[in-house]
Amino acid sequence: MNRDTQQYISAKEKRAQLMTKGFCVFENVLDLEMIASLNTMSEWTITQEDPVHFEEHRSQGCIIPYYKFPHPTFAKLIVHPHALSVFARLGFDDPKVWSGFVISKPPHTPPLYWHQDGVLWNHPISITDKPQQYFLMYYLVDTNRYNGCLRVIPGSHLKRHTLHDLDRKAHELDEVQRASNMKHPAFQQVEGEIDVPVKAGDVIIGDSRLLHSAHANQTDKRRTVLTIWYWPAYASLPEEVKKLIIDHITVKREWVSWIKKTRSITQSLIPIYEGEAKAPSWCNTCTLR
């Protein structure tokens, strides 16, 4: 069996895992030079943020949109050829970008709460296995359960879990965002969870509907992840879903400004919809039964 055949089988298996489990990992997507550049960019971005933000989002550490403090390196990551080749290997040849964040946990900070990020729960597509919104997570350091690696509940994008009974609005409460009540159910160990430790340079691909969280950072060093949200099969999405996507992003002046500044390299990844379909209402409360 030659190397190309092995890679094809591997990608085929990873796609199957992505569809059924809700996530998969590709190793060694970024080289050391790119990782160093992203760490420099992330540190710069973090210094631009108001210190109050870190207290208000103590569970996350910080969550800074890529367009809030624009940096050319983030744009390069969005269009990175190795990242896009991962989509191609999974069978997605024309992904579109939506949002992205610098998410960084300072030393000795609490875990991230359990949540899912699906927003299409008022549309029938949300309860199917059709490709929808996916995240790409690039951790900039090796991760493990001691410095805040990802935790997931495999299959929870397609099957209801007890955590879905938590009101999604509960995650917006101060006691959760600020991690002031560590007895809250959103912070507990739950049935079916697994850790997803990775090496710097790997990428985790996951379904937005997947229940996920992260361990506490118990170390003396910052743990940063860059999360980018894509619609990997945008062309095949229902028109009303495309309308929701466009309506959401075009009202953000910072995003529109970012597009203008990065158009020369990001144009092919920007979603476009000019039809007249009516968008479904935004809903991030799981409707699985």
pTM over 0.85: yes
Who wins on pLDDT, 176 or 65?
65
Give the chain's mean pLDDT: 92
pLDDT value, residue 253: 87
Q: Is 37 among the domain residues?
A: yes
pLDDT value, residue 175: 79
Q: Identify residue 173 by its one-letter amino acid code.
A: L
List the domain range (segments joined by +) for residue 94: 27-269
Q: Is 283 among the domain residues?
A: no
Using 50, 70 and 90 to split pLDDT, how confident is the model at 190?
Answer: very high
Cα separation, 1 vs 6, in Å, equals 7
Averaged pLDDT, 120-148: 96
Q: By percentage, how much of the chain surpasses pLDDT 90?
A: 76
Q: Is 185 among the domain residues?
A: yes
Q: Above 70 in pLDDT, residue 244?
A: yes
Number of folded domains in the chain?
A: 1
Note the Cα 8 to chain centre separation in Å: 25
Q: Is 94 among the domain residues?
A: yes
Q: Is 151 among the domain residues?
A: yes
Q: Is 281 among the domain residues?
A: no
28-67 pLDDT, tens per residue?
999 999 999 999 999 999 999 999 999 888 899 999 999 9
pLDDT value, residue 181: 86
Q: Is 17 among the domain residues?
A: no
Q: Is 148 among the domain residues?
A: yes
pLDDT value, residue 5: 60
Q: What is the CATH number of the domain that holds 204?
A: 2.60.120.620
